[in-house]
Amino acid sequence: MTKADLVDKVVALGDLTRRDGEVIVDTLFESVIGALKSGDKIEIRGFGSFRTRQRNARTGRNPKTGEKVDVPAKRVPFFKPSKELRDSVNPSSAQKAPTVTQGEPVDPHHPPAM
């Protein structure tokens, strides 16, 4: 989906002109970008959260020449989807619940071997 497709969906929802739809979509994106630039975290319940993460400086390699290149430290945007969004994208995994064997709790990140 492109930004133009998103504008079309917003316009189709109500009695709006295409220009009004563009303003709404642009305002949303500008608000998210502005908050991330200032270091704020954005949380949209049922959708997910946006924040920035710090990446440390490192030494990388130029894939073409193999030469070492210094990569500076930087902040990068990061999106974490909500549980509802993950479950809607992967509906079959939402139905599978971890099972408990012999009364032991199951760690959802490290389920027991089958």
Taking only the tens place, the pLDDT of each residue in 68-96 is 999 999 999 999 999 999 999 998 865 56
Neighbours of 85 (CB within 10 A): 14
The answer to whether the predicted template modeling score (pTM) of the entire model surpasses 0.85 is no
Please state the three-class secondary structure of the chain as a single string: CCHHHHHHHHHHHCCCCHHHHHHHHHHHHHHHHHHHHCCCCEEECCCEEEEEEEECCEEEECCCCCCEEEECCEEEEEEEECHHHHHHHCHHHHHCCCCCCCCCCCCCCCCCCC
Predicted local distance difference test score (pLDDT) of residue 97: 56
Mean per-residue pLDDT, 15-38:
95
**With bands split at pLDDT 50, 70 and 90, how would you rate the model's confidence at 14?**
confident
Predicted local distance difference test score (pLDDT) of residue 109: 61
pLDDT tens digits, one per residue of 39-50: 999 999 999 999
Mean per-residue pLDDT, 27-55:
95
**With bands split at pLDDT 50, 70 and 90, how would you rate the model's confidence at 3?**
very high
Domains and CATH numbers, the chain: 3-91 (4.10.520.10)
